[in-house]
């Protein structure tokens, strides 16, 4: 619910010193990363070069059961993936990890990212006889690696060479018969970290929160551009592509990542509290209580409360039994939909001036409904605060932002939005402040969706395609489905 933007994916990989049941820890890790992708998921277990896989559309606890986990058998390396929903990847055959066999043996890939030169690369491979089974970037990358593998002495060296071909964002894990390899694109768009258990098992995960469930301790973030190879010989780092300009997606802090994750040395919870502080400084107001929209607005609301001295309140109850099979009311009753998931605690807001904090606004319809609920519950005033700047531009690196004609910030002025939402004041976080959310992180941020300036050149035909894209019926359904499951 209230997922307005879609993350590319979550990845997890594990390399154990001994052969054991690895499907179970990967399952738990994927469950911890479920917020990064709810469309499909998969696990591949590697038992001395023999890969067993299971993938399907659906949430992790719905796709896997004890029997399926057991059927994957034991192994010493394993890979997992959760994928977000878009029109083109709802098919089971598009689920990851992608498993292929090539001249040097089997390979599995879990990818979080998007190539900006994917179409171009694909055409080249096809003209050389390549066959594609999917529409996903992962298969393109698998050809990029394989093509270099024919002339390189090892898979990591093939990856090193392939990185010269790949343009875009890619935090990915590659599993060969004997190695687990973590790769992060030079700009470091998306996070990727490494952990280790007491018995020497090495894990890689999109976020540190996935390490906890498998009993691993966070060790470090993978550097932008780094290749980390784990094999029986230990852990090796290849830094050929490191040290370039970086541009991590700032929205990981604002919305995507889980608050208990620590990315690039900065607690996500802390970054969001900071957003609340900045918001207060930029947009102060008189009020009696500060409340956040569950779940992503809560931390910033607390930060704003602490900074302002206005008491923090629990303004909403979210139904904790929400699952993806909840039956939508028929059209006539649709206006009730939001009330099934989120209810106002009248006691908190009645006769009060309320500061309402959320992370962002996409189309504004859900937000308007929430404000109406608050007013119906007796709120005297509602002051809306958003912990990010307005969305004005597409993202080419993994965030599935609506087309411009759907974005409220592209269609209305600040005053018009405030009027549409029926709020008494409206304040977005400034671009300047959003860049300062994670001072602990030692890299630059991509704020292209706010400013239109991207850290890497985007081909013109992709730009055009994105700009013209209309949301079809199916996308809308996907979006609705998406609303259901979070």
**Residues numbered 162-221 forming contacts with a copy of itself, rule: CB under 8 A:** 209, 212-215
Give least dist CB 455 to a copy of itself, A: 28
Alpha-carbon gap, residue 231 to 217, rounded angstroms: 19
- Cα 362 to the chain's mean position, in Å? 16
**Which residue, chain included where needed, has tokens 């390899």?**
181
> How far is CA 444 from each of CA 247, 249, 439, rounded to the nearest angstrom?
5, 9, 10
Binding test (CB under 8 A) with a copy of itself, winner from 330, 413, 457, 473:
330
Q: Does 154 bind a copy of itself (CB under 8 A)?
A: no
Q: State the alpha helices, DSSP H only, in 5-64.
A: 23-32, 60-63
For residues 42 and 138, the answer to whether their CB atoms sit within 8 Å is: no
Which part of the chain contacts a copy of itself (CB under 8 A), choosing from 9-17, 29-37, 231-239, 400-408? 29-37
Q: Does 347 bind a copy of itself (CB under 8 A)?
A: yes
Give least dist CB 411 to a copy of itself, A: 31
Token pair recorded at residue 473? 């019926």
Helix H or strand E segment including 76: strand 74-83
**Catalytic one among 9, 273, 367, 446?**
9
Which part of the chain contacts a copy of itself (CB under 8 A), choosing from 165-173, 335-343, 406-414, 424-432? 335-343
Which part of the chain contacts a copy of itself (CB under 8 A), choosing from 28-36, 175-183, 185-193, 227-235? 28-36
Q: Which is nearer to a copy of itself, 102 or 404 (CB)?
A: 102
Alpha-carbon gap, residue 14 to 444, rounded angstroms: 29
Q: Which is nearer to a copy of itself, 125 or 255 (CB)?
A: 125
**For residue 414, is it left (φ>0), alpha (ψ between -120 and 50) or beta?**
alpha
Binding test (CB under 8 A) with a copy of itself, winner from 49, 200, 243, 311:
311
Interactions with a copy of itself, residue window 386-445 (CB under 8 A): none
Helix H or strand E segment including 370: helix 365-376
Q: Which is nearer to a copy of itself, 294 or 364 (CB)?
A: 294
Q: Which is nearer to a copy of itself, 212 or 471 (CB)?
A: 212
Alpha-carbon gap, residue 202 to 381, rounded angstroms: 52
Give least dist CB 268 to a copy of itself, A: 9
Token pair recorded at residue 468? 């013209």
Binding characters for a copy of itself, 360-379, by CB under 8 A (x = yes): --------------------
Alpha-carbon gap, residue 139 to 370, rounded angstroms: 42
Any catalytic annotation for residue 395?
no
Interactions with a copy of itself, residue window 251-280 (CB under 8 A): 258-260, 262, 267, 269-270
Q: How many CB atoms lie within 10 A of CB 122?
A: 19
Binding test (CB under 8 A) with a copy of itself, winner from 129, 198, 232, 413:
129
Q: Does 59 bind a copy of itself (CB under 8 A)?
A: yes
Q: Which is nearer to a copy of itself, 103 or 232 (CB)?
A: 103
Q: How does strand 381-386 pair with strand 98-102?
A: unpaired
Q: Which is nearer to a copy of itself, 130 or 392 (CB)?
A: 130
> How far is CA 314 from each of CA 37, 271, 304, 371, rounded to the nearest angstrom?
28, 21, 14, 15
Which part of the chain contacts a copy of itself (CB under 8 A), choosing from 110-118, 139-147, 382-390, 397-405? 139-147
* Residues annotated as catalytic (active site), given as ranges: 9
């Amino acid at each position: 619910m209230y997922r307005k933007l879609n993350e590319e994916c979550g990845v997890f990989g594990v390399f154990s010193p001994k052969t054991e049941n690895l499907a179970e820890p990967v399952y738990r890790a994927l469950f911890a990363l479920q917020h990064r992708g709810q469309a499909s998921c998969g696990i591949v277990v590697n038992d001395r070069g023999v890969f067993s896989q299971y993938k399907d559309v659906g949430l992790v606890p719905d796709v896997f059961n004890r029997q399926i986990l057991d059927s994957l058998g034991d192994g010493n390396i394993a890979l997992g993936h959760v994928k977000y929903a878009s029109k083109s990847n709802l098919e089971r055959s598009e689920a990851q990890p992608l498993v292929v066999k090539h001249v040097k043996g089997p390979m599995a890939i879990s990818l979080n990212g998007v190539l900006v030169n994917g179409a171009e690369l694909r055409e080249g491979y096809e003209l050389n006889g390549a066959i594609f089974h999917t529409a996903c970037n992962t298969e393109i990358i698998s050809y990029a690696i394989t093509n270099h593998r024919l002339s390189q002495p090892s898979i990591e060296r093939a990856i090193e060479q392939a990185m010269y071909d790949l343009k875009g964002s890619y935090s990915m894990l590659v599993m060969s018969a004997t190695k687990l390899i973590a790769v992060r694109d030079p700009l470091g768009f998306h996070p990727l970290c490494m952990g280790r258990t007491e018995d020497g098992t090495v894990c890689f995960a999109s976020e540190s929160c996935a390490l906890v469930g498998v009993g691993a301790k966070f060790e470090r973030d993978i550097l932008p551009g780094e290749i980390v190879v784990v094999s029986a010989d230990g852990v090796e780092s290849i830094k050929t592509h490191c040290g370039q300009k970086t541009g991590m997606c700032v929205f990981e802090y604002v919305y995507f990542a889980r608050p208990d994750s620590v990315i690039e040395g900065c607690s996500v919870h802390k970054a969001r509290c900071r957003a609340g502080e900045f918001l207060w400084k930029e947009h102060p107001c008189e009020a009696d209580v500060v409340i956040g929209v569950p779940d992503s607005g809560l931390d910033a609301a607390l930060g704003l409360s602490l900074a302002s001295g206005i008491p923090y309140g629990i303004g909403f109850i979210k139904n904790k039994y929400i699952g993806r099979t909840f039956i939508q009311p028929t059209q006539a009753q649709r206006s009730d939909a939001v009330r099934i998931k989120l209810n106002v605690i009248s006691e908190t807001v009645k006769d009060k001036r309320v500061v309402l904090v959320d992370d962002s606004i996409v189309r504004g319809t859900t937000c308007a409904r929430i404000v109406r609920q608050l007013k119906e519950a007796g709120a005297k005033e509602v002051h809306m605060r958003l912990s990010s700047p307005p969305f004005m531009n597409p993202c080419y690196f993994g965030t599935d932002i609506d087309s411009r004609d759907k974005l409220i910030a592209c269609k209305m002025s600040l005053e018009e939005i405030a009027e549409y939402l029926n709020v008494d004041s409206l304040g977005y976080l400034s671009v300047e402040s959003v860049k300062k959310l994670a001072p602990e992180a030692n890299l630059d941020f991509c704020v292209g969706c706010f400013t239109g300036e991207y850290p890497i050149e985007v081909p013109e035909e992709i730009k055009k395609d994105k700009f013209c894209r209309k949301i079809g019926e199916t996308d809308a359904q996907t979006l609705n489905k998406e609303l259901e499951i979070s």
